[in-house]
Amino acid sequence: MRWPYTGEDGKRAWQREAIELKIWRDGEKDPLRKALTQLDTYLDGLSLDTGVAVIFDRRPAADPESSTRFEEALTPSGRRVTVLRA
């Protein structure tokens, strides 16, 4: 993702962010590993050191209100990722 903003110097600049979204469905394994691998590719292509992975837990036993949380994780190449589980 990228979007324009005005920098402190008053000039137009671009902010770039890498985000990967996964849905965790009933009967499937936790998609975090796959998300981190994909996100690593995006981060490499954008020359970024950090990114965000969002995992929506849609399994029937999941309680979205009590399970919404932030975590930290590392991609396979060691980049830092903020993980939002909801």
Q: What is the CA angle 70-67-39, rounded to 5?
A: 40
Q: Write the CB contacts of 17 (distance below 8 Å, at least 6 apart in sequence).
A: 1, 2, 48, 51, 52
Output the pLDDT for position 64.
Answer: 67
- Confidence check: pLDDT of 14 > 90: no
Give the start-to-end residue ranges of the domains of the chain: 18-85
Query: Sign of the C-alpha dihedral, residues 29, 78, 39, 72?
Result: positive
Residue 39 CB-density burial (10 A; 0-12 exposed, 13-18 middle, 19+ buried) = buried
Q: Which residue has the higher pLDDT, 35 or 8?
A: 35
Express each pLDDT in 37-83 by its tens digit.
999 999 999 999 999 999 999 998 767 667 789 999 999 999 999 99
